[in-house]
Structure 1
Amino acid sequence: MNLKETFNTHFPLAILAGICIAIGGTVNLKVGGVAGAVLFAFGLTTVVYYGLKLYTGTAGFIRRHGDWSMLVIVLIGNIIGCLLTALAIRYTHPDCIEKAGDILTGRITKGPYACGLLAIGCGFIMTTAVQFARQGKMLALLLGVPVFILCGFTHSIADAFYFLAAPWDVVCQPIVALIYVSEVIGNFIGCNLYRWMTPEQVRVK
């Protein structure tokens, strides 16, 4: 599949996936706590059910199901989906702006290195959840999302929504870009931990 075909095939699915995750992020902002973390799982469940393209659901399988250009296209599409949703939420639910800003401020306080390390945990959970879901075992998917949220692990696509929904004066700080890149890299590492560290002959199929 050439670059144009890859873009035409995956980019719309990536935008939709970003919207789904942003919907999960919205309910988390509105409800919060354990309930918000559990309800966030709707976003990832929808992504898996419809076969949409999510960065954290793709990064751990990249060598088998695509190439690096596809992963970049997916990431950009996810961010655009989050941006579209964030703009709508900023207009319709202005009370969410401050809550999103609190999340972003917390990330800034932790800094890029800590956020990158936390992203590794999230990536590991996401690849595990998606692997189980592809086998029709949805429990890991339903549990994995609240687990990573309640652990404080960072999800690069969820944070794309939170960051873009936060007050612009907070978003425009240079450190935000560093934090986001560290989360993208951390998620990728976490998504591939199982594959890198487990001999192929003993992996769960």
Structure 2
Amino acid sequence: MFRKTFPPAILAGICISIGCVVNLRTGGLAGAVLFAFGLTTVVYYGLKLYTGTAGFIRRHGDWPMLLTVLLGNIVGCLLSALTIAYAQPDCIAPATDIVSSRLAKGPVACTLLAIGCGFIMTTAVQFARQGKMLALLLGVPVFILCGFTHSIADAFYFMLAPADILFSPALLIIYIGEVAGNFVGCNLYRAVLKVMSAE
């Protein structure tokens, strides 16, 4: 399982990091729209992304796989962040601004915002699996412009920040909250459908 999951998870982290880079360098509506290249690539190649996987896991047996995906995504973001910090250091300042805004919001707000992102990502991937790519192309700009938090994108942004910020306990708590919030959002549709089917 590890060999089939970890490498594509690393590549998925790199793809999302590419979206992050264009967003940092372009910003605004254009950056949000172009970010969609990252998720589109993940879906097209069938790579393993945490927010594209969390909403489709089975009740039993998939937890180690999901943790492997998350770890691989973070490794992909780390490799990308190290590369960009060296080759495109102008990205460090805007990434640090994003990190500072997360710290200003705090863990509760970032967790709540992550729920919205998780819901959008699962919806977009669900549509894409049915060959309907428009939701995928719109979903990414929507979550970015809404200010929702994506745990894998933030892994890249966070690792571009200065070390004293990156290794602060407050940022770790925020990140854990985002991972949890994304998971809740990714599975929100399941909870709603379960309630509907019970009526």
CA deviation after TM superposition for structure 1 residue 76, in Å: 0.2
Partner of 1:197: 192
Partner of 1:84: 79
> Which runs of structure 2 are paired with 1:61-100 in the superposition (5 Å)?
61-63=56-58, 67-100=62-95
Partner of 2:42: 47
Partner of 2:111: 116
In structure 1, stretches of 5+ residues that fail to align are: 1-5
Runs of 4+ in 1 over 2 A off after TM superposition: 199-202
Identity of paired residues, percent?
73
Partner of 2:173: 178
Partner of 1:12: 7
Structure 2 residue matching 1:47: 3-state secondary structure: helix
Task: Give CA deviations for 1:94-134 in whole Å, capped at 9, x if unaligned.
Answer: 11011100000000000000000000000000000000000
Question: Is 1:144–2:139 an aligned residue pair?
Answer: yes
The alignment's TM-score, normalised by the length of structure 1, stands at: 0.93
CA deviation after TM superposition for structure 1 residue 53, in Å: 0.2
RMSD of equivalent CA atoms: 1.4
In structure 2, stretches of 5+ residues that fail to align are: none
CA deviation after TM superposition for structure 1 residue 199, in Å: 3.4
Aligned-partner residue type, residue 100 of structure 2: T
Q: Distance in 1 between matches of 2:58 and 2:4?
A: 18
Task: Give CA deviations for 1:13-33 in whole Å, capped at 9, x if unaligned.
Answer: 000000000000000000000
Q: Distance in 1 between matches of 2:123 and 2:195?
A: 16
Distance 1:94 1:65, change over 3 A: farther
